[in-house]
Amino acid sequence: MINHVRNTVLTVLNKENRGFITPQQFNSYAKHAQQLIFNQKVSEYSRMVSARNSRMVATDFMDRVDILKSSLEVFTEETNVTKTLTRYIKPTDFQHLVSLRYSNKEVEQVSRSKERYLVDSNLTAPTDTYPVFVDRGSDVILYPETLTGAVDFIYIRNPKDPKWTYNTIGENPVFNINAPDYQDFELEEDDSVNLIVEILKLTGVTIREAEVTQAATTIDQVNTSKEA
């Protein structure tokens, strides 16, 4: 997909007389665009799940929740994390927590605003059997703090940075999919138009999705003619 996205971007830039962007510039823009679209998906999914759990979403929107969940499943990871001093540090590619498990049991999350009240209360203080955790951004704290075992993070990771790789032939960069550091976009094919739009925005070009689709279709037709 990344080569198709780049070719479309270059076609639009040429049409708009905006010049040329280097492979390095494209890769930088591609990374930003993918992360932006991915963050929007995660944010929307989180909001809709919360709304559904609160029964604030109409039945018509259930399909959208399922679609988002399906598109994010490929980014779901599970990893075992040991305790560092008093905390459990999140994985470096962490984006959104799905659940936390200790001794194969899901641990309930409590808000930071209720942390001290809960821990200091004789009635509600967490126990070894019913622990809780507090999310502190880059790490989590597990209560009671006497627990020392590892926890399992089930989380949505960030996508890998895309990289359009190439060989220089003459003075021109030519796509090389076999390069060891090649990395395609991890988003779905349906996101290609949004990726192109966002990358073009970073180059200073504002364009409608319909125009992007037309440019992409033209490229496909040219490639098909060459292969025939």
| pLDDT given for residue 220 in this prediction | 56
| pLDDT given for residue 54 in this prediction | 64
Is the model's pLDDT at 228 over the cut of 50?
no
Q: Mind listing the pLDDT tens digit for each residue in 178-220?
A: 999 999 999 999 899 999 999 998 988 876 666 676 666 666 5
Label the pairing between strands 132-135 and 108-109.
parallel
Label the pairing between strands 108-109 and 105-106.
unpaired
For residues 228 and 175, give the distance between their C-alpha atoms in angstroms, rounded to a whole number.
21
| pLDDT given for residue 169 in this prediction | 92
For residues 31 and 37, give the distance between their C-alpha atoms in angstroms, rounded to a whole number.
10
| pLDDT tier for residue 76 given thresholds of 50, 70 and 90 | very high
Greater confidence (67 vs 225) lies with 67
> Residue type at 37?
I
Q: Mind listing the pLDDT tens digit for each residue in 110-129?
A: 988 888 777 777 777 888 89
Q: Sign of the C-alpha dihedral, residues 66, 70, 75, 77?
A: positive
Q: How many CB atoms lie within 10 A of CB 27?
A: 19
| pLDDT given for residue 55 in this prediction | 62
Instruction: Please provide the DSSP assignment of 28-55 as one string.
Output: HHHHHHHHHHHHHHHHHHHHHHHHHHTT
| pLDDT tier for residue 227 given thresholds of 50, 70 and 90 | very low
Q: Mind listing the pLDDT tens digit for each residue in 135-192?
A: 999 999 999 989 999 999 999 999 999 999 999 998 889 999 999 999 999 999 989 9
Share of the chain above pLDDT 90, in %: 54
| pLDDT given for residue 180 in this prediction | 97
| pLDDT given for residue 148 in this prediction | 92
Cβ atoms of residues 222 and 203 within 8 Å: no
Mean pLDDT of the 32-53 span? 86
Among the ranges given (23-32, 54-63, 110-119), the one the predictor scored with the smallest mean pLDDT: 54-63
